[in-house]
Amino acid sequence: VKQCVKAANDFNKKLVVDMICVEDMAGKVGQMEEIGVNVLAVHTGADQQAEGRTPLDDLKIMTKYVKKS
């Protein structure tokens, strides 16, 4: 992901990271922001949804921890 951020910056573009199947959402949000990711996309996998996890659950976690993406 770090190299993708560099390439996006080199070409004056933005980078979107899809957060599918991320277990430690809070930690990963901070890590992605720290390395310069511009946009974090909520994406809850079918397997996770089958276990009762919803995209709104993930969105609530992401908005709690996001600072700038």
Separation of alpha carbons 19 and 29, rounded Å:
9
**57 exposure class (CB count in 10 Å sphere: 0-12, 13-18, 19+):** middle
Q: Give which of 39, 33, 31, 34 is closest to 15, Cα–Cα.
A: 39
Question: What pLDDT is attached to residue 23?
Answer: 86
Question: What pLDDT is attached to residue 48?
Answer: 92
Q: Which ranges of the chain does DSSP label H, i.e. alpha helix? A: 2-10, 25-34, 46-50, 55-65
pLDDT tens across 11-36, in order? 999 999 999 989 899 999 999 999 99
